[in-house]
Amino acid sequence: MFYLGVDVSKKKLDCMLLNSTNGKLKSKSLSNTKAGIEELIGWLAENKAPEAHVIMEPTGVYHEPAALALTDAGLKLSLVNPAQLRQFAQGLGFKNKTDKADSTVLARYGHTLKPEIWQAPSKSARQLKALLARRDAVADDLQREQNRHEAVDFGISPEQVKQSILQSIAFLQAELKRLEQMIEDHIDTDPDLRNKRELLETIPGVGTRVSTNLTALFAAKTFNTAEQLAAYLGLVPVLWESGSSVRARPRLSKAGPSNLRKLLYMPAVVARKWNPHIKSFSDRLIAKGKTKMAVIGACMRKLAHLCFGVVHTGRPYDPNYAM
């Protein structure tokens, strides 16, 4: 069995091929382009490793072309959490931080831990993810311009500056509206995406923004259990205890995408009042003396579990289920 560690950067793919039978390593550096990826596939065939298990770190958008091309070529591919990889490297005693060392660690990580295979998202799911990312970027720009407009109203600024900011705000508002309509149209034309969002919106506390982002997540990534989803979102508690002296408060792992955790905060607060499952859950935790923030974190996790439940079963939310 062969394991291929690929350290991805904007311009290069630094590869290390590990033969698990004899432990031999072969390295190769290629350009992170379509031609370079094709050359990599050919290099694997030359080394009699056309079915190698590829291991790489997700690096923004730079890993996506290689990941999609390699999976399309029939290769198994795993994306590794960078924090877990650093801990693994420290366990192996790697002290140097080079591209070649990183690719070696990736290959050995695959050989040792056999990480789960990454399932490439559909084209429709990728388009939705890109639209949502652009929508969030425009919304952030709009908020910054609105903050600037509020600031110049309190200061002494030329009228031209105020007009420039107002024009920018008007443009960004129109662009945000246009992007939101594009997202709506894209979901409405895809039966699977539309069905997932409709199921999610049956949960009290889940609005359009949350349902749309979680629809993109469920379309792009497969979760087998609700606990997997909560762990991915960084909503599982981390304990810090040792002996009789170390007793730190549990905290959320916060290991996943921070934008989704941020989106779930206010829905969890609302759900404590209007969602019967989460209200009952919240009341029990308060009765046990849990702090407000600990209760909200637990409610965020419970809300994620409910989202997984409706999507996994294909049935809308039932307020009387197991109450």
Domain covering 2-113, topology: Nucleotidyltransferase; domain 5 (3.30.420)
Residue-level pLDDT at 243:
62
pLDDT in tens, 85-120: 988 998 988 888 888 999 999 999 999 999 999 988
Give the sheet arrangement for strand 12-19, strand by strand.
Answer: 25-31, 12-19, 2-8, 53-56, 76-79
The pLDDT confidence band at residue 154, using thresholds 50, 70 and 90, is confident
Q: Please give the pLDDT value at position 242.
A: 59
Distances (CA, A) of 112 to 3, 96, 105, 108: 10, 20, 10, 6
For residue 222, count other CB atoms closer than 10 A to its CB. 11
- How many residues make up the chain in this entry? 323
Q: For residue 18, what pLDDT is reported? A: 96
Q: What is the pLDDT of residues 188-218, one digit of tens each?
A: 999 999 999 999 999 999 999 999 999 999 9
Confidence (pLDDT) at 81: 86
Residue 21 has pLDDT above 60, yes or no: yes
Asked whether residue 322 carries a pLDDT value surpassing 80, the answer given is no
C-alpha span between 215 and 310 (Å, rounded): 12
User: Binning pLDDT at 50, 70 and 90, where does residue 241 land?
Assistant: low
For residue 210, what pLDDT is reported? 96
- At 6 the pLDDT is 97
Q: What is the mean pLDDT of residues 263-269?
A: 96
Question: How far from 304 is each of 204, 216, 267, 276, 313, CA to CA, in Å?
Answer: 12, 14, 11, 15, 14
Rounded to the nearest integer, the mean pLDDT of the chain is: 92
Which amino acid does the sequence have at 139?
A
pTM over 0.95: no
Average pLDDT over residues 5-25: 95
Q: Where residue 43 falls among pLDDT bands split at 50, 70, 90? A: very high
Query: For residue 257, which of 308, 213, 298 has the smallest C-alpha distance?
Result: 213
